[in-house]
Structure 1
């Protein structure tokens, strides 16, 4: 490795303390995580392959940030709604001088040049580009190239080490042993992927005259339209009041695209008054993320690229127009890399996206919708905690962070085994839904009443995700609801050993998620998934924020304490059905919160009434 003069850093000059500190004898394993099922080692990683190493320093006072987040999200606390500004958040999470000095001294001893180092704004992450050979020396490990069954490749190592004195100063380092990456949820009905629908095919389901806009008149389970969603959840007659002060956002990963041409066709068909929005949404490319607006090529058509991106943006605009939409397109973890020996984008994109968004000035979008997740056990626990802590920072700044709960119920049949060498049967919770600082969105279907979504194997098995985390404990805000659910259902005894009853439980709420009508590649297609319910509910919450802003009140921010603290009364409770998976019936829906549909689906007018910005419908009592 290279040598250099003493590092002169933005944090100040770092002194090398007490002579050499990085001899091999002082190293011990800091991080270890098994290679997930479906990934296989192919060959040693090229020694000259360059990766951007991200060193996560122990944050100075995350406990203080968490306490403030809890208070500012509790409707019964004096701090409620007093969201933090960016500098306030940085003051909580910036590492201590002791941690910063120790890590920089170690880098200096290993010849890292000052000009090679970059930082996140709070300096809780150090970023440095290095060759595989140098990273192997730095972390006392060996990297290999791995390939997944679905064609992804990654340069990773299952185990890495640090000098023992640094273990308390470094929370995680990536890319090392995390195979975690976004997994899209949107899916077309297999029976209809070859059939091109046109407007004549669904003419009977198009918007009727306004005076006939009842749920029975405008909703059909075969083709769910924006008018159906707006009528079902009560936003159809709401007029946006604060479009100049409120924004909503969504994420595109995995090379996904949101095509204006398709959105224009969608709005022309289903919400013509919003037609201009197809050309007005903002696209931001992060780390080379695609913002393509040209026709899909043959490879993209084969991969159905754009199904997810189009579903998300068309749904959010269709529900919440004219609230402005921002789309973050983040590169990383592509589904296919043609040259196995030179993999691209060694970092998974969640962290790259979070670094970008958390560096933005205030105010951030009031709601951010993400329709991706992965099995929790593919993520090293230390890394999951670090990503989750970053999501907490978004909540502290007043953003409601929404994630899809997944589309395989409690786990995909045939894959429900632990990844710790025991190969024991287990349910498979999804991350980031298991992070206690996000709002996880499950799926429903049918109308009057709604039930947990279920599609049989003939057309592609699909049931909404839900379950309990192995990494995160049940947060205080949902303990009463979860304990009541366990007592009512007896699932802890029925599924003993398959899940952790004292884990963070999800989903938190739900929405329609079967057969959304979208345009893709110029044609109408039915698309399903919790990646449909997530942008739909996100759009509804953006409208709630619009009403709050217009009334001079703060935005919802981190929603869960409010949701479990009383706002659940304004949701339509789902009481029958379950979320199948792992060869079981999964978790049943019951009265109150459940691990299939959360607290239920939103009733917009009742939400506004309970928040004091709409007409009351019934006696809601106190929080």
Structure 2
């Protein structure tokens, strides 16, 4: 896919926010002495086309370089911005009094630490403290870039991209009555792996991971892990011991971390708690005169995390993300730059799993203020993300929709599996057959006149999994929680198990899996053909601005409700073995493709059949609440 450079429009070079910051309210002007780190994305060079080519070859099951992942050094060469571009932007910063050691470049992103008053002068902007009633962030809705730098800069963050506001309500559902397992009969031979296999969760709230709750969960659902005191390595400022009960982030993190580790242990889990899309908490400081003031040492944690994944020597094999934005709430240039980062990370051998959202084709919006009829989720809409929708009723698995999901407590709960078509990203080659076939056969012609529908856009989700009634321990109480935030870590755990299987046979990790998924023979995944349409919810008493809430229907084959379907582990293993048999062992990664720490410690899913049956245990044990 070729990327269009961001053009900062208008003769005044004014950069406008992608949308009004719905759900965020101005609290005050940002203190001039508050700290901020600006991430400045430099325009792509010809080497980015080489990265695009390399990433495509690595992900193509039919190419001789399939899964020969890039080393960190190889990637750095492909990420480097032209020296002339770096020099221009560095000179601009230097002239504004911002220079080394406050400026640091990694690949095509310059990180520049400064005070708010410097940032305002640099960008001709006004920064404000915004609040959603729970978190405070620094943003500038409008900013400008000097005309000579328009061709050199793709984005500046954090500025005009606002995350979706946090929600104090839990995504809580009542229990379903019919349970099944995805891989109950699978037994796999296991060989010791000499590589430490790691997986990760990207946290979206500060200090919501609760190690005590995780231990309680493991004592019930994975006793060996509990006896080993299994937990997550914490990267960032998060508190590993305490959570914040009563906010959506706490439930999200508990659901994701418990589901993932419960299935993937003894692989090593990492919890990246960088403040999430909501930004780090503010803090109190004292100036030279003894006067106390509030500081907002803020940055864009998502960009920082992606930069780490591109530039760190070692990276996890799988990362699960549960939070997202509505695509039309994100500046397109920012979205494209982030998507390119996902492409680079996938080329290193990392699988990136994103939830597709919980309110069908409309997406959840704060205050129910919608910009379009159809609102797909980002980063799930990026072609280099693997997006996961939701199912329910495992005894006769069907799409999670308003027709099938029972026990919805409030609008923050799962309404319908998110899905649709991107308005920013064109349809990737791996969807060139299935997605047009669905649109031609199942999308009403009337949809083409509705805002937000794009018949040529990247379709989401790619996959789906069980997403209702997961037992989750929060604040020492076990409750059933649902949403695609459950489905995403479930698939991430499946990929972790597949990675362990591959590594034990001397083969590299899966990395970016979408082209492989769409090439699988029929029957490898469980095609979901029941459940109705994924229309969202728009209650008249919630100030909803939508005139209608249409959805997409499930169908045979790919559909924008459940994607290609839900996992059948043993058939995925068969597919890996079939390809290995027809193409040789493919045992050479070509770099850091196995996403390891380089440790010689033998780490294995010691009895892989037991590890697979943890999925059975996790889902079947839901009956304790029936």
Q: Same fold by TM (over 0.5)?
A: yes
1:264 alignment counterpart: 215
Q: How does 1:71-220 map to 2 (within 5 A)?
A: 71-120=57-106, 122=107, 124-148=108-132, 150-180=133-163, 187-189=170-172
Q: 1:50, CA displacement in angstroms?
A: 2.0
What secondary structure does 1:586 align onto? coil
After superposition, the Cα gap between the structure-2 partners of 1:359 and 1:370, relative to the gap in structure 1 and judged at 3 Å, is same
Q: 1:187, CA displacement in angstroms?
A: 3.8
After superposition, the Cα gap between the structure-2 partners of 1:326 and 1:223, relative to the gap in structure 1 and judged at 3 Å, is farther
What secondary structure does 1:173 align onto? strand
Once the two structures are superposed, residues 177-223 of structure 1 have per-residue CA deviations (whole angstroms, 9 ceiling, x without a partner) of 11136868994436x7xxxxxxxxxxxxxxxxxxxxxxxxxxx8359
After superposition, the Cα gap between the structure-2 partners of 1:250 and 1:584, relative to the gap in structure 1 and judged at 3 Å, is same
What secondary structure does 1:79 align onto? coil
Q: How does 1:13-28 map to 2 (within 5 A)?
A: 28=13
After superposition, the Cα gap between the structure-2 partners of 1:478 and 1:235, relative to the gap in structure 1 and judged at 3 Å, is farther
Of residues 235, 260, 274, the one that matches 1:330 is 274
State the alpha-carbon separation in 1 of the partners of residues 239 and 302 from structure 2: 17
Of residues 283, 287, 297, the one that matches 2:233 is 283
What secondary structure does 1:105 align onto? helix
Of residues 320, 325, 332, the one that matches 1:381 is 332
Of residues 42, 49, 69, the one that matches 2:55 is 69
What secondary structure does 2:257 align onto? helix
What secondary structure does 1:602 align onto? coil
Of residues 288, 293, 299, the one that matches 1:347 is 299
1:520 alignment counterpart: 474
State the alpha-carbon separation in 1 of the partners of residues 443 and 562 from structure 2: 17
What secondary structure does 1:311 align onto? helix
Larger RCO, structures 1/2 (Cα 8 Å, 6+ apart): 2
Once the two structures are superposed, residues 18-48 of structure 1 have per-residue CA deviations (whole angstroms, 9 ceiling, x without a partner) of xxxxxxxx97335553323223344433222
Q: 1:167, CA displacement in angstroms?
A: 1.0
State the alpha-carbon separation in 2 of the partners of residues 404 and 274 from structure 1: 26
State the alpha-carbon separation in 2 of the partners of residues 445 and 185 from structure 1: 25
Of residues 570, 573, 584, the one that matches 1:605 is 570
Of residues 548, 555, 561, the one that matches 2:509 is 555
Is residue 35 of structure 2 the alignment partner of residue 50 of structure 1? yes
Of residues 548, 557, 565, the one that matches 2:519 is 565
State the alpha-carbon separation in 1 of the partners of residues 570 and 339 from structure 2: 32
Q: How does 1:583-598 map to 2 (within 5 A)?
A: 583-598=548-563
State the alpha-carbon separation in 1 of the partners of residues 457 and 207 from structure 2: 32
Q: 1:90, CA displacement in angstroms?
A: 0.9
After superposition, the Cα gap between the structure-2 partners of 1:458 and 1:517, relative to the gap in structure 1 and judged at 3 Å, is closer
Once the two structures are superposed, residues 554-573 of structure 1 have per-residue CA deviations (whole angstroms, 9 ceiling, x without a partner) of 22110101111226641000
Gaps of 5+ in 1: 1-25, 193-219, 420-424, 617-623
Of residues 498, 521, 534, the one that matches 1:579 is 534
Compute the RMSD of aligned alpha carbons: 3.0
Q: 1:235, CA displacement in angstroms?
A: 7.1
Q: 1:161, CA displacement in angstroms?
A: 1.6
State the alpha-carbon separation in 1 of the partners of residues 166 and 310 from structure 2: 22
Q: 1:614, CA displacement in angstroms?
A: 10
Instruction: Give TM-score, length-normalised by structure 1.
Output: 0.80
Q: 1:95, CA displacement in angstroms?
A: 0.5
Query: Is the Cα contact below 8 Å between 1:540 and 1:604 reproduced in 2?
Result: yes
State the alpha-carbon separation in 2 of the partners of residues 434 and 258 from structure 1: 27
Once the two structures are superposed, residues 37-87 of structure 1 have per-residue CA deviations (whole angstroms, 9 ceiling, x without a partner) of 223344433222221112111233222211111111111111111100011
Once the two structures are superposed, residues 574-611 of structure 1 have per-residue CA deviations (whole angstroms, 9 ceiling, x without a partner) of 01222121553511110000000000001111111111
State the alpha-carbon separation in 1 of the partners of residues 399 and 281 from structure 2: 34
State the alpha-carbon separation in 2 of the partners of residues 235 and 351 from structure 1: 41
Q: How does 1:436-451 map to 2 (within 5 A)?
A: 436-451=383-398
Query: Is the Cα contact below 8 Å between 1:243 and 1:323 reproduced in 2?
Result: no
What secondary structure does 1:301 align onto? coil
1:410 alignment counterpart: 361
Query: Is the Cα contact below 8 Å between 1:186 and 1:532 reproduced in 2?
Result: no
Instruction: Give TM-score, length-normalised by structure 2.
Output: 0.80
After superposition, the Cα gap between the structure-2 partners of 1:267 and 1:111, relative to the gap in structure 1 and judged at 3 Å, is closer
Is residue 19 of structure 2 the alignment partner of residue 34 of structure 1? yes
What secondary structure does 1:302 align onto? coil
2:427 alignment counterpart: 474
Once the two structures are superposed, residues 345-404 of structure 1 have per-residue CA deviations (whole angstroms, 9 ceiling, x without a partner) of 533421122122323214x22211111111112211111111111111110000110011
State the alpha-carbon separation in 1 of the partners of residues 89 and 138 from structure 2: 24
Would you tell me which structure has more strand in proportion to its own residues?
1
After superposition, the Cα gap between the structure-2 partners of 1:427 and 1:175, relative to the gap in structure 1 and judged at 3 Å, is same
Once the two structures are superposed, residues 101-139 of structure 1 have per-residue CA deviations (whole angstroms, 9 ceiling, x without a partner) of 11122222222232221222x2x2212222222212111
After superposition, the Cα gap between the structure-2 partners of 1:514 and 1:130, relative to the gap in structure 1 and judged at 3 Å, is same
Q: 1:334, CA displacement in angstroms?
A: 5.1
State the alpha-carbon separation in 2 of the partners of residues 240 and 344 from structure 1: 50
2:320 alignment counterpart: 369
State the alpha-carbon separation in 2 of the partners of residues 342 and 410 from structure 1: 40
Query: Is the Cα contact below 8 Å between 1:548 and 1:613 reproduced in 2?
Result: no
What secondary structure does 2:227 align onto? helix
Query: Is the Cα contact below 8 Å between 1:182 and 1:350 reproduced in 2?
Result: no
State the alpha-carbon separation in 1 of the partners of residues 164 and 312 from structure 2: 23
